[in-house]
Amino acid sequence: MSSILLAGGAGYIGSHTAVELLLRDKDVIIVDNFSNSNPNVIERIERLASKRVKFYELDTRTSEFEIVFKENEIDVVVDFAAYKAVGDSVKEPLSYYENNLCSLINTLKLMKKYNVNKFVFSSSATVYGDVKVDMLPAREDYPRCATNPYGNTKLIGEEIISDIGNADDNFNSIVLRYFNPIGAHQSGLLGEQTNGVPANIMPYLTKVAIGELPFLNIFGDDYDTEDGTGIRDYIHVVDLAIGHVKAIERLLKVNNGVEFFNLGTGKGYSVMELVRAFSRASQMEIPYKIVERRDGDVAMSYADPSKAKEVLNWEASLGIDEMCRDSWNWQSKNPNGYDD
């Protein structure tokens, strides 16, 4: 049986991926220090999969991480362990470089020491920077350019992985560039836990819907888009999780060095369209105000997902209505996230 190590596996994307792997009879090991997650997640994963998960509460930057490699035969490592808030990364760049890169390097060093040579890396559409509108959708071979420290950690991470691939013929990696993950597990047992005021649109919207925040701030309605609000490629977190399953299956089958894939739907929705879809799903009017543009935002971002379809046999199957339905289901059933 293949054993898959999920570093940061108790987080938003990691937890959904754990369930999809367990349901497909993969052996899953989760390592997490709960810096942005919650111990209750593990029990919920087990409940959904009707299976036990091997779990270590550890920081992947530390020497203690080695025990996981000593005690297990690992086939593939998936690295979700990273900070991800763009705004915080601008305020605290050093902690972003330290956390995201030290953890990545420690993981790769342990993999080398224990002869584990298959790696899935969580990257982001942020590595495309501000793609000119007539060049959209973004393709994997486009030049990369990060516009904030968080994006830099992903870009440098990609470079580190490519360099290892160039130096070591046995090393195989799939780098997944996520577009905008939203939604939650259909059961309402797993979703995105946010501490404090959310930076991203969907958790903000759901907190407005439960009355915890008074209204949504829409950051600008003067972009060069149909309704003037920003366009993003929102992707259901369960589709994203299945993308990881496909990447792992490919790594277990072929030795193809380092490969890059967009995970998006290929379809962009404006902020206004998302608000309308959410209103339909929640049967609620969402109060909003149009405010200034947010620094660093681009007008439009959406993927060309055709490479993932061709090579990984993966394509998103859930649309914007399902994404809104499941985000709302999660928030309304868990008003305090995993602390309920």
Element (H, E) at 201: helix 201-209
Q: Return d(Cα 133, Cα 137) in angstroms, integer.
A: 8
Nearest distance from residue 267's CB to ligand UFG, in Å?
Answer: 15
Element (H, E) at 56: strand 54-57
- 166: amino acid identity, one letter: N
* 218 lies in the site for ligand UFG, by CB under 6 A: yes
Q: In the complex, which residue's CB is closest to ligand UFG?
A: 230
Pick the closer one to ligand UFG by CB: 165 or 191: 191
> What do you get for the CA distance between the two ends of the chain, in Å?
35
Q: DSSP assignment, residue 57?
A: E
Measuring CA to CA, how many Å separate 301 from each of 12, 105, 196, 235, 321? 22, 29, 26, 12, 19
Nearest to 200 by CA among 257, 259, 126, 145: 126
- Please state the φ and ψ torsions of residue 289, each to the nearest 5 degrees: -130, 140
Of 78-107, binders to ligand UFG (CB under 6 A) are 84, 86
Q: Does 144 bind ligand UFG (CB under 6 A)?
A: no
CB closer to ligand UFG out of 251 and 272: 272
In the window 239-298, what residues touch ligand UFG (CB under 6 A)? Answer: 271, 294, 297
| Residue 217 interacting with ligand UFG (CB under 6 A) | yes
Residue 333, Cα to own-chain centre: how many angstroms? 22
Of residues 112-131, those binding ligand UFG (CB under 6 A) = 124-126
Smallest gap from residue 87 Cβ to ligand UFG (A): 9
Catalytic member of 56, 96, 150, 234: 150
How far apart are the C-alpha atoms of 14 and 5, rounded to whole Å? 10
Please name every residue paired with 300 in a beta bridge, in sequence order, or none if there are none: 231
The answer to whether 261 and 311 are in contact (CB under 8 A) is yes
Q: Is 150 a catalytic residue?
A: yes
Contact call for residue 237 and ligand UFG (CB under 6 A): no
CB of 148 vs ligand UFG, minimal distance in Å: 8
Q: Pick the binder of ligand UFG from 21, 29, 190, 201 (CB under 6 A).
A: 201
Site for ligand UFG in 25-64 (CB under 6 A): none
Which CB sits closer to ligand UFG, 67 or 210?
Answer: 210
Position 157 contacts ligand UFG (CB under 6 A):
no
| Residues with catalytic function | 150
Site residues for ligand UFG per CB under 6 A: 84, 86, 124-126, 180, 199-201, 204, 216-219, 230, 232, 271, 294, 297, 301
